[in-house]
Amino acid sequence: MFVLVEMVDTVRIPPWSFQRQLNDAIAEELNKKLANKVVYKVGLCICLYDITKLDDSYIFPGDGASHTKVHFRYVVFHPFLDEILIGKIKYCSQEGVHVTMGFFDDILIPPESLQQPAKFDEAEQVWLWEYETDEGAHDLYMDQGEEIRFRVTDEVFVDTSPTGPATATPDTPGQPGQPGQSTAPPAEDAGEKKEAPYTLIGTICEPGLGLLSWWNN
Amino acid sequence: MEILNPKNANAAMLSNYEVFKLLTDLKEQRKDSGKNKHSVGQQNLNTIMYETLKYLSKTPCSRQSPEIVKEFLTTMMPHKLTKAEKLQLLNHRPQTAVEMQLLVEESEERLSEEQIEELIQTVADVLPGDPEQENAAPADAEMDEGSEQS
């Protein structure tokens, strides 16, 4: 679930923090920069593990702060392919079952990866598994808040760094009255719909996967 | 900022226990220096620490220790499991054969039924389980000392 990633960065310590121990000041700055943030193609950063190397600190003209190149290791949430994870069902929609782990929310189990046969109950907005036994069919509901065990099948990283001004758009950009949906969407939306930078796609289409209550007797 | 060696970005895999311990120690450390925890910049760290600790405290890793992890890995050596499989066994503490088959790849070909049973038994013996769960099933010889029953 968690991995250690080695990184290098230059950390700026402002002069009013010079009385602090350099290691503490740097640790705080790194956590401020990376904790709870997704790094493209790496994962969700949790917290600093340790500092492996500190280069010399420099002060540049015009800026009273010190700049230090730091080699460090960071704890990152990045499950490997086919890993089994346990989460809670956040809600169900046509797109599938949305699962959350508390610290990480963007997990989706698409309809084709649910235990088959599966049906979407429009009235209650919930997916259910039509489980057939000799006695007849039971409908097993996937309710909100239930603990669910799933296998990671795919991960999607989206680069959400800000883009420059829109280059060639057919409609005039930035009209305040425009609704959320885009007619001719450019490669990246103008910021109305926020895309999750890191999404996990899972499956529960195997014996043992799905709601924990289905398999505990 | 750059990642050293981006192709192989993982320097190491961490078990849930290691992350749990790191976050608990960090929380203790920050509790002592109570001054600037609530500044805007620290909110992200507070949030992620709180949520991750909340998640991990409900998993088997909250009851583990470095000695238990070491003992577990030593007992697992003869079974020839991959690193990822041993890590998942450590994190999940499977109690049924179905869970075992999920965590161990191609378990039908690599392990016989008795070996799977043996693995389940080893996992249950070496890794501490949930005391509430074990109260409900008193079949084991383990007696919890001083457990309160309401």
The ipTM value here is: 0.83
Instruction: Assign B129 a pLDDT band (cuts: 50, 70, 90).
Output: confident
pLDDT at residue A174, as a whole number:
44
The lowest-confidence range among A149-153, B73-77, B130-134 is B130-134
We find that the CATH architecture of domain A2-77 is: 2-Layer Sandwich (3.30)
A46: left (phi over 0), alpha (psi -120 to 50) or beta: alpha
Rounded Cα–Cα distance for residues A180 and A191 (Å): 10
pLDDT in the model for residue A183: 42
Query: pTM to 2 decimals?
Result: 0.84
Please report, for chain A, the start and end positions of each structural domain, with discontinuous segments joined by +: 2-77, 83-159+195-214
Taking the domain A83-159+195-214, which CATH number applies? 2.40.50.140
CA distance B102 to A160: 34
Nearest CA in chain A to B1: A9
Q: Across the interface, do B99 and A208 touch by the CB < 8 Å criterion? A: yes
- Give the integer Cα–Cα distance in Å for A216 and A51: 44
Domain with CATH 1.20.1250.40 in chain B: 64-126
Which fold would CATH assign to domain B64-126? Growth Hormone; Chain: A; (1.20.1250)
Is 90 exceeded by the pLDDT of residue A85?
Answer: yes
The answer on pLDDT for B6 being more than 90 is no
- Kindly write down the DSSP assignment for every residue of A106-148, as one continuous string: -EEE-GGGSSSSEEEETTTTEEEEEEEETTEEEEEE--TT-EE
DSSP state of A196: P
- Tokens of residue A188, six digits: 């990246």
- Any chain B CB within 8 A of the CB of A155? no
Cα separation, B53 vs B124, in Å, equals 24
Which residues face A169 on adjacent strands? Answer: none
CB count within 10 Å of CB A155 equals 15
Using a CB–CB cutoff of 8 Å, tell me whether A46 touches chain B.
Answer: yes
- Chain A residues touching B1 at Cβ < 8 A: 7-9, 33
Q: Give the model's pLDDT for residue A192.
A: 53
Which residues of chain B neighbour A84 with C-beta distances below 8 Å?
88, 92, 102-103
Q: Where are the alpha helices (DSSP H) in B3-130?
A: 16-32, 43-57, 66-76, 83-92, 97-103, 107-110, 113-126
Cross-strand pairs, A73 = A6, A50
Please enumerate in sequence order all residues whose Cβ is within 8 A of that of A4, keeping only pairs 6 or more positions apart, or say none: A49, A73, A74, A75, A76, B10, B11, B12, B13, B14
User: Where residue B36 falls among pLDDT bands split at 50, 70, 90?
Assistant: low
Amino acid code (one letter) for B45: L
Average pLDDT, chain A: 85
Distance of CA A83 to the CA centre of its chain: 16
**Tens-digit pLDDT profile for residues A180-203:** 333 443 444 444 567 899 999 999
Asked if A212 is an interface residue toward chain B (Cβ–Cβ < 8 A), one would say no
Task: Report yes or no: A99 and A86 within 8 Å, Cβ to Cβ.
Answer: no
Structure tokens at B51: 């949520």
